[in-house]
Every structure is written in C-alpha cells, then in structure tokens.
Amino acid sequence: METLVKPLSVENTPQPEAALEAKGLSKRYRLGGETIVALSGLELTVPKGQFLAVMGPSGSGKSTLLHLLGLLDSADAGSVEIAGQPTASLSDDALTMLRRDKLGFVFQSFELIPNLSARENILLPAEVAGRRANAEKTLVKLASALGIEERLTHRPAQLSGGQQQRVALARALINDPVVILADEPTGNLDSHTGEEVLALFGRGVREEGWTVVMVTHDPKAALHADRIVFLRDGKLVGETLTNGAEARSTIERFVGV
C-alpha cells in the first residue's frame, strides 16, 4: 500500500533531507489602495548542507521570501517547513522558539546590540534560550574559527565592519541552527572584506555542513553559493548550479550583468 502512494522518484533516487521547504507560498500587500502581489505560489526546497543564493531585481519578492522563510511574517497561502516541521498553525511564541532554535540570521547592517560586548551579542540567542552554559564552549570554537577571539570584549562600535559581520555570524551559529538566513550580508562591506565573509560562509558549508540561504543582488557574491535561484514578480523564474560552465551566462540572462 505504502509504495503506491509514494512518488516513484522518491522511491528510486533518495533525495537529501530538506532543511527548508516552501510550498505554494503566496503573499499580498495593500499599498496606497493598490494590492501588490509579493509572492505567488512559490515552491522552493533547500537540502541540508546547501549554500543557496536568491537573486532578483528590487520588488521581485526577495525580502518577502526571506521574511516568510525566517518565520517573521505569515503567508496568505502555502507553508514553510523547517527540517520537516510544518509551521503554518503555530502561535507567535512557538514561532519565536523555532526562530531561536532552528534559524540563524545575518543582516546587511549587522544589527549587533550596541550596548552589549561582542561576546554578549554572540551569546544572546543562547541566553534567550536558557542555554548559556553549553554555549560558552561553542563560543570559544566559533570565535577561533571566525578569527575574532581577540575582539570578544569590544563593543560593536569598536569593531570594523568585517569584524562586526563575523560577530553576527557567530551569533547566528551559536544555537547550532538548521538554516542560516543571510540578507545581503556583504552589502555594507568593502569588496575585499565582503569576499572574506563569503569565503567563511563557503568554508562553513563545505567543512561544517551549514545550510545557508543568502539573498543578494551581487552576482559575485552569488557565485560563492552552490546554487542560485532567480526571482521575478513573486515567482521563481530560473536556477543554476554554480559549478557548471553555464552559471555566469545564466546570471547574465536573468540579472542582466
């Protein structure tokens, strides 16, 4: 009986486990009396251990997608599953717990709390979850891997942009999340520092098995990912793997670089 209801492809070629799954996501906004369709019936699966870049022009629905994947906003239709767990009917508190335990966020302008030291900033999500004791060990490991051991007692204002983004990355990783959601993580960095941060993401994915979803409009940044999806008018309009020869031409086709 069971084999009959399962799709054949699943039976024959086992898919890697999905870290994040969007099924038929739709979202509309009212803006000045007009209804704007931000996402319409979007389908997306991010397997564990993948570095995915989301590209698209402004207004294509990138931000809305990130809000919905990050459980910060609710969809009008469709659902988001994190490591196989549906989230559609959860309360605000339950969603908050999921964000805290399963998701890591990296922002364009770092968003460190200015009156806390780098160390306190990194430990914040663990403390909110009441896991500070365990997190101390993780902190030591992360700080040395990200090269910020010497800066832990500093306030954000005393750190360079690159250092702030490393601290933010450590904060995103402290609770060992299923997925890291990054919103233009190099947008406020010079190109050299940006490259360094992206290399950190790449190494993390290859060596530590992180899963990363990164929204970016920078083709160079996107090329650090394993896979790029293109968004236009709230729909996925194309995708490419970056290890293929056609990656650059695909980007050119969709983004017009």
Partner 1 sequence: MATGVVDTLQSGLQILAATLIAMGGFMAYNTFAASVLERQREFALLRTVCLTRRQVQRLALLEAFLVSLLGIVLGLLLGVGLSAAITYFNAVSLGFEFRTLVVPLRSVVLASLVGVAVSLLAGYLPARSASKTHPLAASRAVSDPSPRGAPRLGWLLLAAGVAASVAPWRGLTALFGAALAMGLLFAGFSLSTPALLKPTLRVLTPILERVFGLAGRLGSSFSLRNATRNGVAVGAVVVGMGLTIGVGAMVAGINAAIRSWVDTTIVGDLFVTAPVSFPGGFAAEVAARVPEVAEVSGVGLRIVRFIPEDTPTGRSVALILVDPERFNPASGFGRFQFIPEQGDANDAYRALSAGGQVLAANTMRDRYGVSTGDTVTLRTGDGYADFGVGGVVVDFTGGGETFVGSLRDAERFGGGTPDLFVMTVAPGADPTAARDALVGAFPELYLDVTLNQNYRARILELTQQTFTTTNGLLVLAIFIASLGVANTLGMNLSSRQHEVAVLRTLGLTQRGVRRVVTAEGIVVLVLGTLLGVLTGLLLSQVITTGASALTGYRITPVYPWRLIVIALVASPLVGLLASLVPARRAARLSPVIALGGE
Size of the site for partner 1 (CB under 8 A): 30
Identify which of residues 40 and 107 has a Cβ nearer to partner 1 in the complex: 107
Of 195, 230, 209, nearest to 50 (Cα)? 209
Closest distance to partner 1 from the beta carbon of 68 (Å): 10
Tell me the C-alpha to C-alpha distance, in Å, between residue 227 and each of 3, 24, 90, 234, 253: 31, 20, 30, 19, 16
Query: Both ends of the chain: CA-CA distance in Å?
Result: 51
Interaction between residue 83 and partner 1 (CB under 8 A): no
Please tell me the distance from the alpha carbon of residue 226 to that of residue 46, in angstroms, as a whole number: 11
Q: Check residue 56 for interaction with partner 1 (CB under 8 A).
A: no
Helix, strand, or coil here: 50?
A: coil
Binding mask 164-203 for partner 1 (x = CB under 8 A): -------x---x-------x--------------------
Residue whose token pair is 């409009």: 217
The binder of partner 1 chosen from 43, 73, 149, 190 (CB under 8 A): 73
- CB count, 10 Å around CB of 63? 17
**Nearest distance in Å: CB 150, partner 1:** 23
Q: Which two tokens stand for residue 196?
A: 């360094």
Ramachandran angles phi, psi of 110, nearest 5°: 65, -50
Smallest distance, partner 1 to C-beta of residue 96, A: 5
Interaction between residue 36 and partner 1 (CB under 8 A): no
Restricting to residues 99-118, name those near partner 1 by CB under 8 A: 99-101, 105, 107-108, 111, 113-116
Shorter beta-carbon distance to partner 1: residue 71 or 251: 71
Reference 43, options 235, 208, 249; nearest CA is 235
Q: Is 237 in the site for partner 1 (CB under 8 A)?
A: no
Strand (E) or helix (H) holding 191: helix 191-203
Nearer to partner 1, 115 or 144 (CB): 115
Nearer to partner 1, 79 or 108 (CB): 108
Reading the block at residue 189, the tokens are 């960095």
Residues that bind partner 1 (CB under 8 A): 63-64, 66-67, 70, 72-73, 92-93, 96-97, 99-101, 105, 107-108, 111, 113-116, 124-125, 127-129, 171, 175, 183
